[in-house]
Amino acid sequence: MMTEGMFTNYFLPGIWITIQVTVFSALLAVVVAFVIGTLRTSRLWIVRFLSGIYFELFRGTSSLVLMFWLVFAVPLMFRWQFVPMYAGVLALGLTYGAYGSEVVRGALAAVPAAQREAGVALGFTKFQRLRRIEIPQAWPEMVPPFNNLLIELLKGTALVSTIMVADMTYAANLVRIGSNESAPVYTLLLVLYFVFAFVLTRGMRVLERHAKSRIGQAPPRGDSLWSRLTLRSNAGEGTGALTAGGTSR
Amino acid sequence: MPSPADTPRDSNSASRANGAELVRFDKVTKRFGDVTVLDQLDFSVDTGKHVTLIGPSGSGKTTILRLLMTLLTPDEGTIKVDGDYLNHEERNGTLAKAGEKHVREVRKKIGMVFQQFNLFPNMKVLRNVTEAPVHVLGMSKDEADQRARELIELVGLSEQLDKYPSQLSGGQQQRVAIARALAMRPQVLLLDEVTSALDPELVAGVLDVLRDIAHTTDITMLVVTHEMSFARDISDAVLMFDRGKIVESGPPDKMFSEPEHERTREFLSTVL
């Protein structure tokens, strides 16, 4: 039988590690998403090209293999070793940052061109336009797809158990070996991920409502992010990024 | 053509002689694909004058305003504003494409009001008007605030300071947009069909505000409009455009009462 001691000694520390990996990777992913996403809207083709390469590269590589590469290949190639948890955070952050960059790019593209023109007419620099006009207007459009990605990321953190990071999946495996009770252990694990995902979704709802109220129920835009993503997915791009995380598991 | 050195660089509006050339287009051509929208266009606007551009749609009027606002760049020719090239910079005695910084500097002399208002929906009325003075001109928050309140009062919207643009009518939004443009103290104000997107009963309010500004300030105006009586009221000169060229120009009384050119007569008969 799985005892209470097993929960407090193995699961609880594992839960804490999962939370840490999720938070750190999400922070890294948001930074990467905004940087790469805005660079992909640049007027300069070389900037678009290089940031596009980043996107394709990290969308097209498995985050599990990337973790293995960081942990097992990097020490051989560069005589330098990652703390395994940071390797996991890096792999997840870079990968989900790439997916997130597509969300940022799409939401920025959905801001009407007239807003950019108004910004030009008032003398704002490109950076000021992004910061004060375009990103604030695009932000409410970004929150729901970011929520999807965040939950994918949470579930993706289970991958770090394969590089000896003692997250809750790793703890569950230890407890299963010790107690030989696969059914309750893995059921509990499933429920734990679900509860975390549910809490995140609630939190993101609040964020979304807050974001929308801050732009004062903006008049409906003809071409919203959603219609754009739908169009793009018909063309074989776009929403693919939002679900592509599934292949790495 | 006078070199930039001949023109006084001190562009303080008080010291600037009224009547000096503020905007000059020199052989400006603009094409969209195969369509030539402006064809070797020459014209100038003197300081303090109000010039109205009329003509059928597609004749290039709006393109002129968008070129001046640097939302478009000319394919050929040069544009000067207050003695400085807008899209070009003189380097080693030759004209080269201007850098971003130069363009921003010259552009500060120009303000624009758009057909669709283009207020920032993420900012309340007051902040729409203070945002650029604070972050572009580096004005203090208090000063920008006070000036914005004055301008918003001028356009008759003091009650609406705390509302988002989406809570205002089109006419009110357009009046905020006028206040926002004036807050940057431009020397030239470009008005691009500013009443075309408004419900008919809201047009008069906006035009009254603009008449007031035209008659009480010394700001230079370049106006594209289909409101001919408004054009007649405020203009010093009217330019008739057709197919990227100026067909005829003159004072409003003459242009509207006894136009010489057949094309002008034809056009006016459809709009008056």
pLDDT in tens, A176-211: 888 888 888 899 999 999 999 999 999 888 888 888
pLDDT of residue B16: 43
Contacts (Cβ under 8 Å, ≥6 apart) of A198: none
> Domain residues for A40?
19-165+224-248
- Of residues A224 and A35, the one with the higher pLDDT is A35
Q: Does some domain include residue A45?
A: yes
Residues of B in contact with A123 (CB under 8 A): 104, 107-108, 132, 136-137, 184
**pLDDT number for residue A241:** 38
Would you place residue A2 in the very low, low, confident or very high pLDDT band (cuts 50, 70, 90)? Answer: low
What six digits make up the tokens of B213? 């500004």
A124–B69 C-beta distance less than 8 A: no
DSSP per-residue string spanning A188-205: HHHHHHHHHHHHHHHHHH
Here the CATH number for the domain that contains residue A159 is 1.10.3720.10
pLDDT tens-place string over residues B157-172: 999 999 999 899 999 9
A43, A111, A122: best mutation site toward chain B, by most B Cβ within 10 Å? A122
Question: Is residue A6, in this structure, part of any structural domain at all?
Answer: no
Exposure string for B183-199, b = 16+ CB within 10 A, e = fewer = bbebbbbbbbbbbeebe
- Shortest CA distance to A196 belongs to which of A236, A230, A156, A228? A156
Q: How far is A82 from chain B (nearest CA, A)?
A: 43
Neighbours of B37 (CB within 10 A): 21
Q: What sign for the dihedral angle of Cα A188, A191, A192, A193?
A: positive
pLDDT in tens, B111-132: 999 999 999 999 999 999 999 9
Indicate whether B12 belongs to any domain. no
* A203 within domain boundaries: no
The answer to whether the Cβ–Cβ distance between A117 and B107 falls below 8 Å is no
pLDDT greater than 80 at residue A229? no
Interface pTM, i.e. ipTM:
0.86
Q: Would the pLDDT of A173 be above 80?
A: yes
Residue B64 lies in a domain: yes
B3 assigned to some structural domain = no
- Does the CA dihedral A11-A15-A20-A21 come out positive or negative? positive
A165 neighbors A84 (Cβ within 8 angstroms): yes
A212 at interface of B, judged by CB pairs closer than 8 A = no
Determine, yes or no, domain membership for A170: no
A132 touches chain B (CB under 8 A): yes
> Which residues, listed in sequence order, are joined to residue B84 by a DSSP beta bridge?
B81
Identify whether A104 is part of a domain.
yes
Q: Is residue B181 part of a domain?
A: no
User: Total domain count for chain B?
Assistant: 1
Domain assignment present for B137: no
pLDDT at A218 over 70: no
Q: Which domain holds residue B233?
A: 46-70+186-271
Q: Is residue A60 part of a domain?
A: yes
Hey, what are B143's tokens? 């000063």
Q: What's the CA gap between B45 and B68, in Å, rounded?
A: 12
Residues of A in contact with B118 (CB under 8 A): 114-115, 117-118
User: Does A136 lie at the interface with B, CB-CB under 8 angstroms?
Assistant: yes
The answer as to whether A185 is a domain residue is no
- Min CA distance, B184 vs chain A (Å)? 7
On whether any CB of chain B is under 8 Å from the CB of A42, the answer is: no
> Is A157 domain-assigned?
yes
Give the separation between CA A235 and CA A222, rounded to whole angstroms: 20
Whether B262 maps to a domain, the answer reads: yes
A73 and chain B: CB distance < 8 Å anywhere? Answer: no
Contact residues on chain A for B180, CB-CB shorter than 8 A: 122
> Could you tell me which chain B residue has the CA closest to the CA of A122?
B132
Task: Count the domains in chain A.
Answer: 1
If pLDDT is split at 50, 70 and 90, which confidence band does B13 have? very low
Q: Pick from A117, A128, A137: which is nearest to B122 by CB?
A: A137
Q: Is A117 on the interface with B (CB under 8 A)?
A: yes
Structure tokens, A249: 């598991």
* CATH number of domain containing B59: 3.40.50.300
Q: Which tops the pLDDT comparison, B272 or B75?
A: B75
Q: What's the average model confidence in pLDDT over B51-57?
A: 92
- CA pair distance B230, B210, nearest whole angstrom: 9
Q: Report the sign of the C-alpha dihedral through residues B138, B139, B142, B148, in that order.
A: negative
Q: Where are the alpha helices (DSSP H) in chain B?
A: 61-68, 100-107, 125-135, 141-154, 170-182, 200-216, 228-234, 252-257, 262-271
Instruction: Tell which residue, A21, A25, A39, has the closest CA to residue A101.
Output: A39
Q: Which residues of A touch B104 (CB under 8 A)?
A: 123, 125
Torsion of CA B230, B231, B234, B238, to 10 degrees: -170
At B95-116, the pLDDT tens digits run 888 888 899 999 999 999 999 9
A74-98 mean pLDDT: 92
